[in-house]
Amino acid sequence: MSSASGHGRRLTRSHRASITGVAALGAASLALTLLPGGGATETGAHGMASVAMVAPQGTGQMQAKVVEQHAAADKRVKDRAAREKATAKAKADAQAKKRAGQKTAASRTAARKPVYANNLNGWIREALAVMKAKGIPGSYNGLHRNIMRESTGNPRAKNGWDINARNGTPSIGLLQVIQPTFNAYHVSGTPHDIYHPVSNIVAAANYAAARYGSIDNVNGAY
């Protein structure tokens, strides 16, 4: 029993030595296989360490390059977004500035436009402004004198007894104009209404300018 037991222990140590040798041989073979070209110039742990460092170094460089490319692409996207945002803002600012300018101009125009009183004095003054813009001669006194003679300042005055009335075209308004004359000498920019005080004055003054040179030269029925 003692002899068998001792033999068993020696076999166990032999087996261990064999297993260790096989493991070392396998590792060395693996190291040789991984070397470029399938050849072997070094063996053992040093050779394996050399092989182990080759792959990680190349992989790290590739990863760094990919990261760099992604960063560059991301920067391009952000730069483009920033440019588009800046362009949109500039456009919006320009439109807002244009609207503000238009509003200011409209306000100034409205402020400059005079407001005339709704009476004989206001009608004459407004008519004179239109006449000046259209190049029609006449003065405040010339208009006022003829208006007072023709209608006493009543824009609804209508002559129903003179020759024009008998012919079916009564004289109407502040300056007693018949409809055909009003139609022929109506001034654009004023209402096409013979009873409208300013339209009536301007049309009559336009007719008087064509026939007499100016409403100021009219001192009687015309």
From first to last of its 222 residues, the chain has per-residue pLDDT tens of 444 444 444 445 544 544 444 444 444 444 444 444 444 444 444 444 444 444 455 677 888 888 888 888 888 999 999 999 999 999 999 999 999 888 887 777 666 789 999 999 999 999 999 999 999 999 999 999 999 999 999 999 999 998 999 999 999 999 999 999 999 999 999 999 999 999 999 999 999 999 999 999 999 877
Separation CA 78–CA 178 (nearest Å): 77
Under 8 Å between Cβ of 125 and 116: yes
Separation CA 197–CA 153 (nearest Å): 9
The pTM of this model reads: 0.53
Under 8 Å between Cβ of 190 and 199: yes
